[in-house]
Every structure is written in C-alpha cells, then in structure tokens.
Amino acid sequence: MTDDVLISIDGPTGRLSLNRPKAIHALNTGMCRAMLAALVDWRSDPAVRLVMIDHAAGRGFCAGGDIRALWESGGGDGAIARDFFRIEYQLNHLLFTYAKPVMAFMDGITMGGGVGISQPAKYRIATERTVYAMPETGIGLFPDVGAGWYLSRLPGRTGPWLAVTGARIDGADCLALGLATHYVPSGALSQLKADLVARPGDIEGVLAAASATPPESKIAGWRADIDRLFASDRYEDILAALEADGGEWAAAQRATLATKSPQACKVSLRELAESLRLTDFADEMRMEYGIGTKVVQRHDFLEGVRALIVDKDNQPRWEPATPEAVTDHLIDTIFAPLDPAEAWEPYRG
C-alpha cells in the first residue's frame, strides 16, 4: 500500500483520499493499485454502503497521472507505462461497474487521471473551485482513462471541442454538461461529508440540501459556435471552419490548436468517433489501452512532455508537423488492435 492515498472506513462510508499535495495528487501506479484493492474489499463488505473519493490536503482534486514517469518509461522499453495504464484502467473500469454508490468530489483541478476516477461515480460534486480539462493533446497524448466514452456522449460537439483544445471549464460548466451531478460550495463540503456519514440512507436528500445554484455556465453562450465549427470528425475541416469564420472566439480556438500535436488531435477525434459506437465500457478501455501503449513511445508524446514539463521551453517540435502530414495510415496503425496476449482486460481477482 502507499501513503499517497489515505484509505479508511468512516461509519458506513469507505474513504479514498488522494494524498500527494505537492503533485496536486497526480496518480501513480501504487495509488491506483491501492484504490483498486480497497474497492475490491469493500465490494463484499456489507458495512460499506457508500464510497467517497476526495483529496486529503492542498489544492486540487487530481491533476492527472504521473506524466514524467510515463515519459521516462516511454523513452525506454515502455514497460512501466504499460503497467500503469493497465492498473489505472482497471481502476477506472471497476469504478464504472461498481454496484455500490460512489461519490467523487471534484473540488479544484480535475484533469486527466482525475477525470478517470470521478466520471464513473454516480455522484460527481463540482464547486466554485473546479477546473476541469483533458489537456492531453498539448503533450502529444489523447484523452484516455475512459474520456473517449464520456466526451463522445456530451451534448452536441462539446466533447470533440474539449478533446482537441484541452479547454478548461468550471464547476458551473460541468453541471450544465452533465459532467457533474451536483454543485456544492467548497465551504460546505466538510458538513456534507459528515451528513452523509450520519445519514447513509438519504444520500439524495443530503445532497439536495447541500447543493446551491451555480453561476451561469459560459458553455451555453458558446454552444452554437462549438457545434458549427467543430462539426466534423476530420481535423482539417475543423481548422478550415475556424479560419473561415473570422470571429474572435474562432480565432482564439485556432490559435490554441496551433500549439497542439496534430497527431494527437487526429487520434482524439478518431477515438471519440469510435467510442460512440461502443456499448461496453470494457471495450472502451481495451481500445484506449491499445492506443496509449503505442502513443506513449511515439515522438510527439516524448517531445511534448520534454517541452512542457521537463525543459519547459514550451516549444514542442511535432512530427509530423502538420495535420496534412498525419496520414490515415498512421492513425490506423495507432488504432490497430493489440495481440490478444498483450491486450488490456478488466480486473479478475
């Protein structure tokens, strides 16, 4: 087990509290393994009626996965990265299929891996401090941890927009899109948790009493532009639409996309289109694992992490450098199924 996640039982509630404040609670393999083991134990424990996932201290819920460790592994044989993806995705899948109610507190930064452990929860609590994003295209990666499933099922074309731009949205936006189920002021969270422990049979009532009306969502004002300009699953079509629009919002989106990996953007659009056709979340994770194990050893991920996280020069040199140079054959190669002996499978223990 690990001190990076605090595991406890409080009355009828199992608690998973992320505890890496200096890393904004970024997930590592040990944390995922420990949470997976606890959830398996609690699954058959009649005393545990609710699972809460939150962070123990510091700012942010979870900033994602341990990207530097993935980068170091991807530059070598990739074995550590594959092990991390396998365990993390098993955790994501177990949460998605968990029979007992799970509640995630998306208080603060909720990105990458933090999305993966909050979106499967039946109850997803946003606050005025929530900052939600899947920013992977900026480091040559793609929205994983089940994000293909979640983003592809958002209203209109908000999912593809979030996937390729890595846009940051707030708690009000999360509630408006259905990424959050409730909006609770951060100052009320401690009392909410205490009330849930005291009244485990009235989760809905406790949440209703604690919930507040959020500010107006910005997404509503952008929806028409998002649906129109991001209508295509072809990346070149999106770029052309943004360039032809002439508006300030479109120009801002085009400028953002100019910083992203063309390969990663094409992978993301293909992922969401494929995800929408799937009916089993296990197939989603199987597909994402196949993509992830290849992408983590490709140039754009190694270069993106170098530029944004390691050297911090913010000048990644993408290869291929242009969307047109990212061929359909290249994307097909990334999406090719793994050999059955290497493929991801749900936790069977």
Burial of residue 249, with CB atoms counted within 10 A of its CB: 0-12 exposed, 13-18 middle, 19 or more buried? middle
Q: Token pair of 122, please?
A: 């039946």
Burial of residue 186, with CB atoms counted within 10 A of its CB: 0-12 exposed, 13-18 middle, 19 or more buried? middle
**Nearest-angstrom CA–CA distance, 100 and 49:** 6
Q: Token pair of 284, please?
A: 């989603």
- Per the residue annotation, which of 14, 60, 64, 65 is the catalytic one? 65
- Per the residue annotation, which of 136, 195, 288, 300 is the catalytic one? 136
Beta bridge pairs of residue 52: 15, 103
C-beta contacts of 337-346 below 8 A and 24+ residues apart? 337/290, 338/289, 338/290, 338/293, 342/293, 343/286, 343/289, 343/290, 344/85, 344/86, 344/89, 344/285, 344/286, 344/289, 344/290, 345/286, 346/90, 346/93, 346/94, 346/97, 346/282, 346/285
- Per the residue annotation, which of 14, 60, 64, 113 is the catalytic one? 113
> How many Cα atoms occupy the beta-carbon half-sphere of 23 within 13 Å?
19
**Nearest-angstrom CA–CA distance, 88 and 280:** 18
- Per the residue annotation, which of 107, 144, 195, 288 is the catalytic one? 144
65 part of the active site: yes
- Please state whether the peptide bond connecting residue 21 to the residue before it is cis, i.e. omega within 30 degrees of 0: no
CB 62 within 8 A of CB 110: yes
φ, ψ at 119 (rounded to 5°): -65, -30
**Helix or strand run (H / E) with residue 110:** strand 109-111
**Nearest-angstrom CA–CA distance, 14 and 106:** 17
113 part of the active site: yes
Q: Which of 139, 27, 155, 134 is nearest to 91 (CA)?
A: 27
Torsion angle of C-alpha atoms 99, 293, 334, 177, degrees rounded to 10 = 40
- Residues with catalytic roles: 65, 113, 136, 144
